[in-house]
């Protein structure tokens, strides 16, 4: 009888312990679930914040119809020198800068537009167009056919103007003609631009021209010179996008090495698509090493 009673007590005790453990386990599970839900909500809130920030950033790049700049955002105007300003690329670029697409909608700019003497009338026409736009961030426009005036105290220089390759013109002739142009521009930058000036060379062959300009501007740090071969990079990205049926914005780090010429090399080995190596996504090395290179 006593043994039986003892067994019942032990059984009830074990049953009570089991209930306690189950209850405690449920509480721990609920706490974990609440924590996971909290993390999920935090991630969602962070994602929304990032999306909102990106949206605001994209809107700011439009550069038009924005409220007056707060006092804490008002800064001294940035002097931007553009060569070949009256050309097809240069005129579009000047309007984009005036819209705030380079420095944002609250950064005032002084446009220092440089052209050849024979294009002076076309340059005056561009100035009229920019004035007609009544862009809020354009502080002043200085047109010039003299690089010493156009590059004076420049913070940024975009070297668009270059000699195009004419009919029957050998590559060596083209290099020689552009060497003279970018030698003169490099010397002018060295003499009158700010020593902190950032120089972006667009005129082809861009890498060679950037090297020449930097060589003749020894007082400006070499790292302040860069060459832009965006056309080839964009073309390469669009070809891959079409090949794998993905948005262009999913393709990252697809770079072009070399000049805008037959010697250029689109680097697919360091590129990725949605964080996956580009070559493993394309899965066709023969195409990437052959037709793709030729098409770019």
Point out the residues that are catalytic: 260
How, if at all, do strands 265-267 and 255-257 pair?
antiparallel
Contact 199, 213 (CB under 8 A): yes
The Cα–Cα gap between 267 and 255 comes to 5
CA gap 187, 185 in Å, rounded? 5
Q: How far is CA 151 from CA 66, 156, 163, in A?
A: 30, 9, 19
Concatenate the DSSP letters of all residues of 202-248 into one string: -SSSHHHHHHHHHHT-TTS-GGGEEE--HHHHHHHHHHHHHHHT--G
* H or E, element range at 257: strand 255-257
Structure tokens that stand for 206 in this block? 């861009």
Q: Encoding tokens for residue 267? A: 């680097």
CA dist 255 and 237 (Å) reads 9
Cα distance between residue 100 and residue 60, in whole Å = 8
* Phi, psi of 92, deg, nearest 5: -65, -45
Terminal-residue alpha carbon distance, the chain:
95
């Amino acid at each position: 009888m006593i043994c039986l009673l003892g067994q019942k007590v032990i059984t009830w005790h074990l049953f009570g312990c089991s209930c306690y453990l189950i209850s405690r386990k449920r509480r721990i599970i609920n706490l974990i679930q609440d924590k996971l839900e909290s993390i999920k909500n935090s991630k969602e809130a962070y994602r929304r914040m990032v999306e909102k920030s990106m949206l605001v950033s994209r809107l700011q790049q439009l550069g038009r119809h924005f409220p007056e700049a707060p006092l804490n955002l008002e800064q001294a105007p940035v002097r931007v020198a553009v060569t070949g300003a009256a050309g097809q690329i240069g005129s579009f670029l000047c309007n984009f800068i005036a819209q705030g697409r380079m420095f944002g909608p609250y950064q005032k700019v002084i446009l220092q537009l440089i052209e050849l003497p024979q294009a002076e009338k076309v340059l005056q026409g561009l100035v009229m167009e920019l004035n007609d736009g009544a862009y809020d961030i354009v502080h002043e426009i200085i047109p010039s056919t003299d690089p010493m005036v156009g590059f004076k105290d420049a913070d940024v220089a975009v070297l668009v103007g270059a000699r195009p390759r004419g009919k029957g013109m050998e590559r060596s002739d083209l290099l020689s003609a552009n060497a003279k142009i970018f030698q003169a521009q490099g010397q002018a930058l060295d003499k009158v631009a700010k020593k902190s000036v950032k120089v972006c060379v667009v005129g082809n062959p861009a890498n060679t021209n950037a090297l020449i300009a930097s060589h003749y501007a020894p007082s400006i740090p070499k790292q302040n010179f860069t060459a832009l071969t965006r056309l080839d990079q964009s073309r390469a990205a669009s070809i891959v996008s079409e090949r794998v049926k993905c948005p262009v914005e999913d393709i990252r780090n697809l770079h072009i090495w070399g000049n805008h010429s037959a010697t250029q090399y689109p680097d697919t080995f360091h590129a990725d698509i949605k964080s996956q190596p580009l070559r493993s996504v394309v899965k066709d090395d023969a195409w990437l090493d052959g037709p793709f290179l030729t098409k770019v």
